[in-house]
Each structure stands twice: as C-alpha cells, then as structure tokens.
C-alpha cells in the first residue's frame, strides 16, 4: 500500500509502452500536479519525454509529426471534448492515451469517431487520479468541499472518483466504515459503495486480508488544523505553505533568484526525507551538521594541484553542486522559519494553544489570551486562532467570555473577516456538532514529558497535543472502535481486526495527522495505514474550508450575542 510506488508504476508504464523515440507529455491541470509530485523534470527527460504541453492551453502552431504524444488526463467532459478537437487536427504523429480513472464506453466511442486519421495507437485506464503526497498520504486538492455544511455535488463526485482511483491503484476492495454523526461521511460512504458495485469487475482482486475504508469528518476535530506546528514539514506548511512540493520564498528580503521558489520533495531530497518528521530544535542541529559536511568538502576541493586532483574534482562536481544546492535551500528555509518564530513570538503563542487544547484551567487561560491580545508583537491571525480555540473549549462553560474576547479583538483593530471566523468555527464544529469531547479525552491525561530537543531543554510543552485521529485508529486496530459511532455500511459487523486501513478525512487532513499515521505504521509492523483527505490543510486553508462550509448559514451564536 505505497501510494508513491503505485503511481510511479503507472507513469513508467506510460513512457515505456510507446517504445523508444522522442515523446511529448500532454496533460491537464490536475494530472500535471500529479506527475510533478512524483518526478523532477530531469527524471522525465530520462524517459525520452522532451516536451510538456497542457491540453487546455495547447497551441495550434506547427505540427510536430516526429513526436509521439503521451496523453495523460482526467476523464472529464471538458477533457474529452478538448481531446476530440486534438484528434480531429492532430499535431503529433501518434497518440497513446491514458485516463487517470474509469472512462465511460460512450466517451471512448466519441474519441474513436474523432480519430479520422487513425493516429491513436492505444487507450488505457491508469488509476492515478490523486496527489500522492507521500507513501502513506494522499490529497485530492479540494478546498471548500461543502457549502451549508452539505456536500458540494461536484466535489462529492470528484472525491468518489479520487477514492476509487486510490483503491484501484493499490488493488484493494475494502469494507466501509463511516462516522455516524456526519451526514457528509455517510453520503460519501454510500456513493463509494455504489461505485464499487457498479465497477465490480475492476475490483475483482485476490486479497489476503480484509481492508477497511474509514471515512471521517474534519468537523469532529477542528483543533488539529488550528495549531502551530513544530515538525519540519508541518511547520513549513503552516508558516510558508507547501503547494505541490513547492515553497514560495520570493517575499524573503534579499533572497537569491534561484531560491525564490524551492522544491521540498522526499523523493528527490535526502536531507528533507530524513528530517521532515523531526522537530524544529533537532532541525537546527542537523542543518549545522549539513553545513559542516559541506565546508569540509569545499576545503578539500580548494586543493586542486594536479591533473589527478582536477579529475577527482570533475568526477565529484555534480554531487558537490547538489550538496551546495541542498545546503542553500534548507539554510534559507530554516532561517525564514526561525525569523517568523522570533518575530511573531510563536513559541509563546504555541504554548497557550497547547494549554487550550490539552488542559482545563479557564481563568488562567482567559487571562493569558487577554495578555497576548494586548501584545503588539502578536499577529492578528494568531490572536484570532487563540480565541477560536478558547471558544471551542469553553463554549458551554458557565463563565466563558467569548463576547468579551471578541470585543477586545475589535478594539485592537482586528479585521471583520477574522472576527467572523470565531462565529464560523462554532457553527462548523461547536460542541453540538462533535460526537467526541475533544477537551476531556483519556489521551490528554497521558501527556509525555520528553525533552523538546534543541530548545534549551524546555519540556515538551509545544507538542502535547495528539490528533483525535490517533485515538480513533488505535481503537480500530484493537477492535475497540464503536460499531454504533462508526458503523459498517450495510450494518454488517466484522469481528476480525483489520491489517490494512485506508482513512479518508472529509474536509481535509493535516501533516500532524500524517505524522501520527507514520508513527502508527512504524510502531505496528503488521498493520498498514494510509491517510487521505479532500486537502492537506494548514490553518489558513482550514479557515477557508470553514468559511466556505458555513457560507449562507446565519450564526446562531452571533445572533444570540449581539
């Protein structure tokens, strides 16, 4: 169940089935993202693909008949129509067509009718209709999957197709469980089962185990995506945003041209692969070690005194240049993270976030929030998120002062948009919307006290929080997950503990939850878990999700407190 391996197999097949010779890769916007996550341009060049084109922006300039065209697109109505036009007036010599998901026979017939010059050599379904972020994490790249707390029909259909593609690519036909308190989770579960039934011939696999597809709703845990993060990958996404493995650093003062956009890919960057789950303190130490290694090599290469020395230098230069690029990239990224942490007092903010998430001390936490709101160095969005966490935690507390904190934010000049987020989050995921009590969980009482390395031996106050997903998966693995709260579709009950679990989070997942799944996989060698979501959120994209989900809904809390 390795998602990266599954999709790379498909891409390799595409480039090899057309045989030797120069090729062009013709894609759409989504499949371009799918491929760019898996391969660097150099790796694609090595497969004799020398040109990349987009079907939706493909120019009708000169014909290039000596090129073979590999078409890799999603089987949408728009793409079918664009491809029909391409085949009527073919720009390339031959076409090898690969759809990223199941294609209707009627659409195949339409394409055949358009292929008057008989340039199409092969047509295949290759199930690569999702973003393989890591071997155990996938995303569909959808922000705002619901409107009015119900599925946007187009996003529901896209999500069904994405999950079906994942299952086909890893050759699994699972039992389906879903969160009973979520109408969206139930609806998705039903639609996936309909698709499995309709395409039963495609799912006729031999399976040694009985995999489970568990469908959850982000609304049950709004806390995880609101928190500052302290592992490298999650921290970069929270503070700088990772978009298809790319990080925009053009805003950094004095940034070198080649570092304005950097690629962070575990597939192509050994340092990143080895450190993406390490905490910020550890990263500082490993960056220092990386620089020491680089400086030793620089010193060694300064002594080029003979032909033999020159030969050695030329042989090692590509590796030397690669190491130089790695050092520059990660020193720049970590330097910017450090700058943001210091400038915006994020350690102080994060400490209070963790207390609000994991401890109950109403009067003390209320006082700390007021102090931070009055601190000129704290960002507006950080103040807002602290009040959101407070509102979620103490919504029903007899002495809660949500209104007072909102007034304090208004007096500080916080934007109306951010103020509205506090009302939105209670509408999206207030206590009446959640089946679990996030702030009184057994796991909270088992907070570890290990050292947060590199931050002057401070106790691990910044990583106390454990996502609700961790607890849910542990219960599932032990066979203790409530069949009432998480029923099997069709009211069946399977007593056997699952060895393979595919989790899908409606409303988006996070890198903190990806880390939890990574650790569970490592700690339980006999069990394999993969995690997916409509999106991989940082706090900013999650707030956009919440805003979209609650649009058109009049906030009851707002009405009651005006």
For 51-79, how does the pLDDT look when each residue is reduced to its tens digit (9 = 90+)?
Answer: 888 988 866 567 788 889 999 999 999 99
pLDDT of residue 459: 45
Q: How confident is the model at residue 408 (pLDDT cuts 50, 70, 90)?
A: very high
Pseudo-torsion of CA 308, 313, 314, 319, nearest 10°?
150
Furthest-apart CA atoms within the chain: distance in Å:
83
pLDDT of residue 359: 86
User: 269 vs 3, which has greater pLDDT?
Assistant: 3
Mean pLDDT of 192-198: 93
At residue 99, does pLDDT exceed 80?
A: yes
pLDDT of residue 471: 92
Residue tagged 């120069």 (tokens): 22
Mean pLDDT of 465-491: 90
Q: How confident is the model at residue 492 (pLDDT cuts 50, 70, 90)?
A: confident
% of the chain with per-residue pLDDT over 90: 62
pLDDT of residue 231: 92
10-14: long-range contacts, CB 8 A cutoff, minimum separation 24:
10/98, 10/126, 10/127, 10/128, 10/169, 11/35, 11/38, 11/39, 11/72, 11/128, 12/47, 13/126, 14/70, 14/72, 14/96, 14/98, 14/126
pLDDT of residue 318: 54
Strands 120-125 and 49-54: unpaired
Judged by DSSP in three states, 154 sits in: helix
Q: How confident is the model at residue 308 (pLDDT cuts 50, 70, 90)?
A: low
d(CA 64, CA 92): 5
Judged by DSSP in three states, 530 sits in: strand
d(CA 159, CA 117): 36
User: 334 vs 425, which has greater pLDDT?
Assistant: 425
pLDDT of residue 34: 94
Q: How confident is the model at residue 303 (pLDDT cuts 50, 70, 90)?
A: low
At residue 322, does pLDDT exceed 80?
A: no
Instruction: Please tell me the least confidently modeled range out of 323-332, 416-425, 465-474.
Output: 323-332
At residue 251, does pLDDT exceed 70?
A: yes
pLDDT of residue 432: 82
Judged by DSSP in three states, 77 sits in: helix
Task: Using alpha carbons, list the distances in angstroms from residue 4 to 131, 142, 506.
Answer: 9, 20, 22
Mean pLDDT of 362-382: 94
At residue 493, does pLDDT exceed 60?
A: yes
185-190: long-range contacts, CB 8 A cutoff, minimum separation 24:
185/215, 185/216, 185/217, 185/506, 187/151, 187/156, 188/151, 188/156, 188/159, 188/160, 188/163, 188/215, 188/504, 188/506, 189/213, 189/215, 189/489, 190/489
pLDDT of residue 323: 63
Residues 260 and 250: beta-carbon distance below 8 Å: yes
User: 390 vs 457, which has greater pLDDT?
Assistant: 390
Q: How confident is the model at residue 186 (pLDDT cuts 50, 70, 90)?
A: very high
Q: What is the mean pLDDT of the chain?
A: 86
d(CA 558, CA 427): 10
pLDDT of residue 60: 55
User: 134 vs 556, which has greater pLDDT?
Assistant: 134
d(CA 200, CA 135): 26
At residue 458, does pLDDT exceed 80?
A: no
Mean pLDDT of 303-324: 53
Q: How many CA atoms does the CB half-sphere of 248 hold within 13 Å?
A: 5
Most confident of the ranges 202-211, 274-283, 412-421: 412-421
| Predicted TM-score (pTM) above 0.85 | yes
For residue 275 the two structure tokens come to 């450190």
For residue 130 the two structure tokens come to 């999702």
Mean pLDDT of 399-425: 94
% of the chain with per-residue pLDDT over 70: 87
At residue 193, does pLDDT exceed 90?
A: yes
pLDDT of residue 8: 93
């Amino acid at each position: 169940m390795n998602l990266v391996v599954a999709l790379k197999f498909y891409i390799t097949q595409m480039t090899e089935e057309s045989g030797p010779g120069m090729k062009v890769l013709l894609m759409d916007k989504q499949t371009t993202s799918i491929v760019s996550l898996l391969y660097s341009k150099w790796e694609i060049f090595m497969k004799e693909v020398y040109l990349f084109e987009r079907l939706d922006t493909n120019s009708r300039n000169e014909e290039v008949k000596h090129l073979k065209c590999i078409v890799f697109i999603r089987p949408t109505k728009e793409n079918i129509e664009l491809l029909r036009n391409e085949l009527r007036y073919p720009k390339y010599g031959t076409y090898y067509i690969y759809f990223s998901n199941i294609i209707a026979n009627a659409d195949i017939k339409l394409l055949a009718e358009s292929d008057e010059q008989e340039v199409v050599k092969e047509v295949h379904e290759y199930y690569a209709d999702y973003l393989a972020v890591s071997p155990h994490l996938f995303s569909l790249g959808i922000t705002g999957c619901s409107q009015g707390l119900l599925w946007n029909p187009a996003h529901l259909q896209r999500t069904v197709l994405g999950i079906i593609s994942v299952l086909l690519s890893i050759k699994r036909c699972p039992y389906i469980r879903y969160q009973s308190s979520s109408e969206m989770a139930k609806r998705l579960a039903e639609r996936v089962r309909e698709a499995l039934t309709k395409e039963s011939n495609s799912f006729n696999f031999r399976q040694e185990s009985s995999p489970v597809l568990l469908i959850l709703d982000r609304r049950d845990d709004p806390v995880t995506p609101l928190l500052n993060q302290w592992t490298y990958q999650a921290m970069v996404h929270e503070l700088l945003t990772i978009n298809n493995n790319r990080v925009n650093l053009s805003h950094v003062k004095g940034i070198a041209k080649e570092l304005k956009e950097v690629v962070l890919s575990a597939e192509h960057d050994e340092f990143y692969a080895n450190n993406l789950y390490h905490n910020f303190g550890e990263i500082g130490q490993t960056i220092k070690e990386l620089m020491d290694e680089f400086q030793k090599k620089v010193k060694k290469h300064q002594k080029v005194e003979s032909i033999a020395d020159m030969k050695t230098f030329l042989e090692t230069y590509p590796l030397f240049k690669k190491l130089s690029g790695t050092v520059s990239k990660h020193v720049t990224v970590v330097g910017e993270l450090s700058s943001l942490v210091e400038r915006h007092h994020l350690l102080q903010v994060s400490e209070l976030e963790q207390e609000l998430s994991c401890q109950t001390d109403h009067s003390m936490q209320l006082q700390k929030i007021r102090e931070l709101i009055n601190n000129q160095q704290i960002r507006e969005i950080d103040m807002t998120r602290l009040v959101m966490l407070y509102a979620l935690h103490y919504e029903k507390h007899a002495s809660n002062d949500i209104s007072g904190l909102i007034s304090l934010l208004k007096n500080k000049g916080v934007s109306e948009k951010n103020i509205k987020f506090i009302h939105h989050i209670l509408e999206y995921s207030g206590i009446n919307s959640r089946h679990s009590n996030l702030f009184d969980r057994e796991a909270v009482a088992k907070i570890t006290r290990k050292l947060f390395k590199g931050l002057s031996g401070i106790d691990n106050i910044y990583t106390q929080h454990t996502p609700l997903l961790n607890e849910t998966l542990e219960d599932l693995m032990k066979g203790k997950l409530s069949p009432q709260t998480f029923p099997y579709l069709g009211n069946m009950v399977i007593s056997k503990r699952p060895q393979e679990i595919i989790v899908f989070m409606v409303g988006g997942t996070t890198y903190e939850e990806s880390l939890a799944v990574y650790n569970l996989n490592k700690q339980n060698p006999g069990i394999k878990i993969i995690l997916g979501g409509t999106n991989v959120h940082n706090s900013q994209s999650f707030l956009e999700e919440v805003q979209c989900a609650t649009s058109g809904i009049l906030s009851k809390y707002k009405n009651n407190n005006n």
